[in-house]
């Protein structure tokens, strides 16, 4: 049994995760006895590990790639948010060894934007979401809940975008990949949820010429901190929000579940994360 309240992040691989230094920083600065560990868990072992963790004294865990969807079939109590998104990223182990699961990615995404732009109302006319993979589900859910008037989804394989639009319903629409640049003309929030422009020198494949200069641009990728999209948007003067803050803000609700206190996202923790990239 763990001597201190202990949480963890489970992934495969896991060495890239910045969650351990962030949560341990909060534990230390808030004077809370506890630990947060990285655990590399193969997909085939996930069920056995989740069953064992409560018995070992873990209070909860985060899940990252590739476990967010698979874990839904292994837990007893799933939040309505997680059901709507179709994936879980935060688990709480109860005293009766049942598991509560939720998804904090949508909250993390919105709080990251609001940290930099408290009033999002001027950006709510049209969001253009690039990508239709697992990460896009939480983003689309967040935009829908926040009241965006139109949410356009562009994906290289349109059928995947169509499936998401059908799942989430109004106000989601899809467009052909070739129509992406033209759609930027009416866009007030541009979000990349794909791996496009992810490498240090990877260019962003779409011209931003049609994008209004006051449109907000964000990328949920945080390594590198300045992706190809953010570099291109920043160079033309658009306001930008990097992805590292989403990691910080999505971690807040889980920390509160496990350790009973709510941490604050501030420049110190963001600087810590940026320095760890």
Catalytically annotated residues? 68
The reply to whether omega before 224 is within 30° of 0 (cis) is yes
Distances (CA, A) of 145 to 84, 138, 148, 169, 241: 11, 10, 8, 12, 20
What is the CB-side half-sphere exposure of residue 57 using CA atoms within 13 A? 10
The label of the residue with tokens 């600087």 reads: 271
Could you give the CA distance from residue 57 to residue 15 in angstroms, rounded to a whole number?
Answer: 23
CB of 157 within 8 A of CB of 136?
Answer: no
Ramachandran region, residue 161 (left: φ > 0; alpha: ψ -120 to 50; beta: rest): alpha
Could you give the CA distance from residue 18 to residue 40 in angstroms, rounded to a whole number?
Answer: 14
């Amino acid at each position: 049994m763990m001597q201190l309240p202990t949480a963890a992040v489970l992934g495969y691989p896991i060495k890239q995760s910045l969650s351990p230094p962030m949560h341990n920083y909060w534990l230390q600065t808030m004077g809370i006895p506890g630990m947060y560990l990285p655990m590399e868990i193969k997909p085939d072992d996930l069920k056995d590990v989740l069953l064992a963790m409560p018995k070992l004294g873990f209070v909860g865990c985060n899940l990252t790639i590739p476990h967010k969807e698979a874990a839904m079939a292994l837990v007893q109590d799933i939040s309505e948010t997680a059901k709507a998104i179709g994936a879980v990223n935060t688990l709480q182990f109860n005293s009766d060894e049942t598991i509560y699961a939720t998804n904090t990615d949508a909250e993390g995404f919105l709080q990251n934007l609001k940290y930099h732009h408290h009033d999002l109302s001027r950006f709510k006319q049209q969001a253009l979401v690039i990508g239709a993979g697992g990460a896009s589900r939480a983003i689309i859910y967040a935009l829908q809940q926040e009241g965006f008037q139109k949410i356009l989804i562009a994906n290289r394989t349109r059928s995947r975008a169509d499936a998401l639009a059908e799942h989430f319903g109004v106000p989601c629409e899809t467009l052909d990949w070739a129509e992406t640049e033209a759609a930027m003309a009416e866009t007030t929030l541009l979000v990349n949820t794909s791996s496009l422009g992810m490498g240090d020198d990877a260019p962003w494949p779409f011209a931003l010429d049609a994008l209004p200069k006051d449109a907000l641009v964000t990328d949920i990728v945080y390594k590198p901190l300045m992706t190809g999209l953010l570099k291109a948007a920043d160079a033309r003067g658009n306001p930008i929000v990097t992805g590292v803050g989403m990691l910080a803000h999505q971690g807040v609700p889980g920390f509160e579940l496990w350790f009973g206190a709510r941490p604050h996202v501030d420049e110190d923790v963001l600087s810590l994360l940026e320095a760890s990239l």
